[in-house]
């Protein structure tokens, strides 16, 4: 779990002196040492341009001159990167539009709150600062990646440079460790450990994608065998690309490897995206049907990000629904996200599908998912992805903490 750190320098932007003072006092009560104020949008932008110490802002929308929407656009144009909390008395539909706009601009939104803002709401939004800050720093460090080509992929397969990391999936009901998602990394001899952002698109376009998938499967099966032998009968899920699903020989290769490993097929879950289903539909559906007949779990990944979600669910013999982080992250603070999340969970219940929520980063989102009856959760609030050999030590060290989450009450 990421240590909670609040911003040390925060700017409150509101044309109402009463509202500014109220918000500033709430921030001071939370222990934020430096709370600045701006009387309108122009004042705010001027302070942001001259004071790089400002780590977060609380922004009203309705202001004379430059309104809050204009401030957000100006921040994006000038590449000003403080984290943002929007606080406005306007209707929730408008706030939802502003939230979507802020995300599309690449701003680091901590929350969009409707006035009057309660202490607990503001505290919850500010508690997301550590996660958002760390994610931004991580992304900044990966902007410039190495130049790689198919020859590098071929060598990586031959030399065993691809490695599997695993992110725990935990029951929201009782905090039990139920499974993991296998996530690829590249241990490059010159560039060090590379995250998928540097290479996965190239790999998926290459002729080697099915071979990479099967190598990931082999590594996951080896770790899974060790976990089972240690008394931890975990499931693992592995991502399968659209091109791999369109490979008619893939099902045979997967079945053969899993059968040889001694791991029961119901412990192996294949994650597919909604868009992948539309590639070579006949072959893809045949591959999925064969795998399901053999007892493999099938999970629709990133559910909610496609345009024909319910139609796809009627076509795919899936056993699990994985709700995309876009609907999970911050749902405790957004009425619209909560409604969409409730809708996804309701559909899953009616179709008798297990549900995993990804992107869980705060206690508030964890509690919301638990109260809504979601099955499992994964995300930084539980744990980051880790090497397979680190999973058992992590569970021994964190078992009590995670299981206490399962019995937590609001």
Task: Quick: pLDDT tens for 249-283.
Answer: 888 999 999 999 999 999 999 998 766 665 566 77
Start-end of CATH 3.40.50.2300 domains in the chain? 9-139
Which residue spans within 97-176 are E strands per DSSP? 109-114, 162-171
Start-end of CATH 3.20.20.450 domains in the chain? 145-406
Angle (nearest 5°) at CA 181 between 325 and 289: 95
Mean pLDDT by groups of 10 residues along the chain of 410 residues: 76 96 95 96 96 96 94 94 94 86 89 91 86 59 70 95 97 94 95 91 90 96 97 95 80 94 96 67 81 93 59 76 85 82 87 92 90 94 95 94 71
What residues contact 50, with CB distance under 8 A and at least 6 apart? none
Single out the residue of 336, 331, 316 nearest to residue 374, CA to CA.
331
Specify the pairing of strand 177-188 against strand 83-88: unpaired
H/E segment holding residue 71: helix 68-78
| CATH level 3 topology of 145-406 | TIM Barrel (3.20.20)
Convert the pLDDT of each residue in 318-342 to its tens digit.
899 998 888 888 888 777 788 888 9
How far apart are alpha carbons 177 and 193 in whole angstroms?
27
Q: Do 167 and 384 meet the contact criterion of CB atoms below 8 Å apart?
A: yes
How far apart are alpha carbons 386 and 165 in whole angstroms?
5
Four-point Cα dihedral 121, 29, 102, 51, nearest 10: 180
Partnered with residue 34 across adjacent β-strands are 9
SS3 at position 330: coil
Convert the pLDDT of each residue in 94-139 to its tens digit.
888 898 899 888 899 998 999 999 998 899 888 888 777 666 555 5
How far apart are alpha carbons 351 and 183 in whole angstroms?
28
pTM of the entire structure? 0.76
Buried b (16+ CB within 10 A) or exposed e, 88-107: bebeeeebbebbeebeeeeb
How far apart are alpha carbons 362 and 359 in whole angstroms?
9
> What CATH number matches the domain at 9-139, 3.30.70.580, 3.40.50.2300, 3.90.45.10, 3.40.50.1110?
3.40.50.2300
């Amino acid at each position: 779990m990421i240590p909670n750190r609040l911003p040390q320098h925060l700017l409150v932007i509101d044309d109402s002196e009463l509202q500014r003072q109220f918000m500033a006092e709430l921030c001071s009560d939370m222990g934020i040492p430096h709370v600045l104020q701006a009387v309108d949008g122009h004042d705010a932008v001027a302070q942001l341009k001259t004071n790089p110490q400002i780590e977060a802002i609380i922004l009203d929308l309705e202001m004379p001159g430059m309104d809050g929407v204009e401030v957000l656009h100006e921040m994006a144009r000038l590449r000003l990167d403080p984290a943002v909390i929007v606080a406005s008395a306007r209707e929730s539909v408008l706030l939802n539009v502003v939230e979507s706009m802020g995300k599309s601009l690449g701003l680091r939104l901590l929350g969009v709150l409707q006035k009057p803002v309660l202490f607990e709401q503001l505290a919850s939004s500010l508690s997301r600062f550590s996660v958002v800050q760390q994610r931004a720093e991580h992304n900044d460090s990966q902007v410039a990646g190495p130049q790689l080509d198919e020859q590098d992929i071929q060598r990586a397969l031959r030399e065993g440079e691809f490695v599997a990391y695993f992110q725990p999936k935990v029951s929201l009901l009782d905090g039990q460790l139920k499974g993991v998602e296998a996530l690829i990394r590249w241990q490059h001899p010159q560039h060090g450990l590379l995250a998928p952002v540097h290479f996965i698109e190239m790999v998926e376009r290459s002729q080697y994608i099915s071979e990479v998938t099967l190598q990931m499967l082999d590594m996951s099966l080896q770790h899974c065998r060790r976990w089972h032998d240690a008394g931890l009968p975990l499931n693992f899920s592995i991502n399968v690309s659209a091109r791999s699903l369109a490979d008619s020989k893939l099902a045979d290769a997967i079945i053969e490897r899993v059968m040889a490993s001694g791991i029961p097929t119901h412990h192996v879950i294949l994650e597919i995206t909604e868009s992948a289903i539309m590639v070579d539909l006949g072959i893809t559906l045949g591959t999925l049907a064969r795998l399901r007949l053999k007892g493999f779990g099938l999970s629709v990944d990133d559910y909610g990000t496609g345009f024909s979600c319910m139609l796809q669910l009627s076509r795919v013999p899936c056993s699990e629904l994985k709700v995309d982080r876009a609907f999970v992250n911050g749902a405790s603070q957004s009425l619209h996200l909560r409604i969409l999340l409730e809708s996804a969970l309701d559909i899953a219940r009616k179709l008798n599908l297990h549900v995993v929520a990804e992107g869980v980063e705060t206690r508030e989102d964890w509690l919301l998912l638990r109260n809504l009856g979601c099955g499992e959760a994964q995300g930084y609030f539980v744990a980051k992805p880790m090497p397979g050999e680190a999973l058992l030590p992590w569970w021994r060290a964190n078992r009590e903490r995670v299981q206490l989450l399962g019995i937590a009450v609001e």
